[in-house]
Every structure is written in structure tokens, then in C-alpha cells.
Amino acid sequence: MLVALLSDPLIRHMGNGEIETMNTKKVEASKHKKANFDYASVKMLNPANVTWGAVQDATRNAIGNTNKSGKSNDANYAPMGKLAIPNVAMRLPIGKGLGHVVLSRGAGTMTADQQMGQGNFAMAGHYMTNTRILFSPLKRVKIGDMIYLTDLKKVYRYRTFSKRTVSKNAVEVLRDVPGKKVVTLITCASPYTNEPNRIVVQGELVGTSTNLNRYKNIFG
């Protein structure tokens, strides 16, 4: 309960902040930034590290989002786009990689070279005790639900065709699906430490659009 009381408002604030300030210039710049893609290094969120993430966020906004060394820097949030699943009221920013700052705000991309609308666009996110934030709503997703992605140039529409619980070691969910262009969303099966299973939701690409205004209310 303490974790939720302290963390949830900050998580919502940071995620909404990324959504509201995201633009095509930032997304394009993210393509050239390095990021941490080590899934094994992902840690559970708690009041201390969420608060630290908020401090890093404030510092980044105050002094500018720069990293002269060119090395991966968690505080250097690199926006890749937005994710929305309207049927479960899920709306999140997509950040590059699996660093703490990325996953405390929303979805994180799992490989360096993946592209929306191509192959298997895989993302991970945290499952929380508050089932309305981050990737927790995935537990309520149903087959047929629409999943929307945008890179701020196009909107990519996917229809859910698979939802299952797998071992945390089931790396096959990251592989391409023959004959399909898919999105894969992965989260822990519970909010508990050392949870051995993962919820995996997959959707197949059914269309794209350059009319971003049509989907403005979906992404926010």
C-alpha cells in the first residue's frame, strides 16, 4: 500500500509528462541514442527508485537532455512513440530500451533495431499492485482488442490474436512470427518479487494511417 501511495502519482505524472512533451524531433533524435536493453537488469519499482527517477527527470528538464560521452544514460530518456489500448484504458509513452527511467514512465523497447509496423515490435513494462498503471492493464486485455502504436509520423493498428502466460525464460516470444507483422507486450504475471512467469500479449498489424489527428484522442 505504501508503495502505491508514494509511487503511483509520480509514475502517472512522469508518463503523462513524456506523452505531452513528445514531438517528432525528439523521436527522430532517439534513433541515434544508445540504451540499455538488458532485460535481466530490470528491477522492481519502489518508492525510492521512483522518486529518484522523478529527481532525474527534473534535473534533465532543468539542464537539458545531453550526454556528451555518447554512452547509455538512464536519465537520458529517449522517446520512441506512444502506445494505447483503449479497451483497458492503457495509454503510455514508449521509450528506447529497458532502463529504469524508461520503465518507470511506460513501455520500453526490447531490441535496438526494431521498427513499428515491421517484424516483431516487442516492448516490456512493469506490472504493479495498482492494476490501472503501466503494463498492469494487460491482464484485462482480450483477444480482438485493438492495440495502437505511433511514432508521430504514422499510426499502426494491431488486433490482439494471442494472450498467454509463459516462463520468464521464454525468449521465443521475441522472434518474428512467420507471415505476420506483430507487436508483443510483456509484463510480469504478478507484482511480487521473483515472479517466474510473464504475461505476453501479441497483436497482428491490420493497418496504418498518416492521419494522426484521427487518433489524437486515443493517444492524448
Residues 87-107 have pLDDT tens digits of: 999 999 999 999 988 999 999
Question: Residue 184's beta-bridge partner residues?
Answer: 122, 202
Tell me which architecture the domain covering 2-62+77-219 has in CATH.
Beta Barrel (2.40)
Could you report how far apart the first and last alpha carbons of the chain are, in Å? 29
User: Is 126 labeled as catalytic in the residue annotation?
Assistant: yes
- Surface-to-core class of residue 108, CB atoms within 10 Å of its CB (0-12 exposed, 13-18 middle, 19+ buried): buried
What confidence tier does 189 reach under pLDDT thresholds 50, 70, 90?
very high
Q: Look at 74-88, 108-122, 138-152, 176-190 and tell me which has the smallest mean pLDDT.
A: 74-88
Angle between helices 2-21 and 47-63 (to 10 degrees): 30
**156 has pLDDT over 90:** yes
**Interatomic CA distance for residues 205 and 155, integer angstroms:** 11
Provide the residue ranges of all domains of the chain, joining segments of one domain with +.
Answer: 2-62+77-219
H or E element at residue 4: helix 2-21
Question: Comparing 103 with 48, which gets the higher pLDDT?
Answer: 103
At 125 the three-state DSSP class reads coil
Q: How far is CA 46 from CA 3, 132, 142, in A?
A: 6, 17, 29
Query: What is 156-180 written as a DSSP string?
Result: EEEEEEEEEEEETT-GGGGSPPTT-
- Write down the pTM of the prediction: 0.88
β-pairing verdict for 155-167 and 107-109: unpaired
C-beta separation of 198 from 167 below 8 A:
yes
Task: Locate 201 and state its grid cell.
Answer: 500479449
> pLDDT grade, residue 68 (50/70/90)?
very low
